[in-house]
Amino acid sequence: MGKGTEGVRPLVAGNWKMNGLKAALGEAAAVQEALAGLQGAIAADVMIAPPATLLMAMAHASGAELLQFAGQDCHAKASGAHTGDISAEMLKDAGASAVIVGHSERRTDHGERDADVLAKALAAHRAGLCAIVCIGETRNERESGQTLAIVARQLAGSLPPGATAANTVIAYEPVWAIGTGLTPTLDDVAEVHDLIRRDLEARFGGEGARMRILYGGSVKPDNAKALMSVPHVNGALIGGASLKASDFIAIVRAYEG
């Protein structure tokens, strides 16, 4: 099993983003089948965040004890005149156990601010979902030495005061590494995850010590084991490599043994 989990059960989550038609249900079924074959050997929880159009079919076809499901975003309100939006309650009703909020693509493409992410995390908790709160710096911010300050600011502004280890996961995704094939050094990852852990412990005490901190940003089968072995890395949030069951399971197997 990967080191550095501090007794925290890791989570490996695949974010399919805006990818996947009905034919892609077969990939989720293949993940489910592989997990069934590995049952007892993988010391991690496994999750897929499909597009909303596939969430209900995927969740109803799979055993939640092996494979969990998440939404990719939610509206802050439970219902109302918000054409095209999806509430946390709707995601819960469709079979989700979690929802991603504050992903860098939402922050960049839709102008979401920390306050918006906080509102969505609160909505997730209201609906009984785990909020996977994403944070991370751009390339310009890293090159100008602002990484730790940006991460600390996003943590302070995006996490609800009542966050617990059961209802909140942090996903650190350096924006410049998402989908680019670039990754920070292991020392860079360790530095940021150490800051996040210390910040969480200072704010939430024992709950902060148990919150899962995922790494995301060009995680692949060939680098997963090294990344998952970094102290305070409690799993991964995976993009493109989660679309193929074989690649996704190869990453999950970083926690085999």
What percent of the chain has a predicted confidence (pLDDT) above 90? Answer: 89
| CA–CA separation, 51 and 22 (whole Å) | 11
Run of H or E residues at 172: strand 168-172
| CA–CA separation, 207 and 205 (whole Å) | 5
Number of domains the chain contains:
1
What percent of the chain has a predicted confidence (pLDDT) above 70? Answer: 97
CA distance from start to end of the chain? 5
| Whole-number Cα distances in Å, 52 to 92, 100, 105 | 12, 12, 16
Instruction: Look at residue 6 and tell me if it is in a domain.
Output: no
Domain that holds residue 122: 11-255
Residues noted as catalytic: 103, 173
pLDDT band at 64 (very low <50, low <70, confident <90, very high): low
| CA–CA separation, 121 and 74 (whole Å) | 9
Strand partners, 94: none
Instruction: Look at residue 239 and tell me if it is in a domain.
Output: yes
| CA–CA separation, 67 and 30 (whole Å) | 11
Report whether 130 contacts 98 (CB < 8 A).
yes
What angle (nearest 5°) sits at the alpha carbon of residue 151, between those of residues 247 and 223? 25
Considering the entire predicted model, what is its pTM? 0.96
Instruction: Look at residue 1 and tell me if it is in a domain.
Output: no
Residue with the two structure tokens 């989570």: 11
SS3 for 100? strand
Q: What is the pLDDT of residues 93-136, one digit of tens each?
A: 999 999 999 999 999 999 999 999 999 999 999 999 999 999 99
Q: Is the pLDDT of residue 11 over 60?
A: yes
Instruction: Look at residue 231 and tell me if it is in a domain.
Output: yes
Instruction: Look at residue 3 and tell me if it is in a domain.
Output: no
* Residue of 69, 31, 30, 33 whose CA lies nearest to 48: 69
* Residue of 102, 123, 99, 120 whose CA lies nearest to 112: 102
Indicate the average pLDDT of the chain.
94
Domain CATH code at residue 48: 3.20.20.70
Q: What is the pLDDT of residues 139-177, one digit of tens each?
A: 999 999 999 999 999 999 999 999 999 999 999 999 988
| CA–CA separation, 75 and 58 (whole Å) | 21
Instruction: Look at residue 4 and tell me if it is in a domain.
Output: no
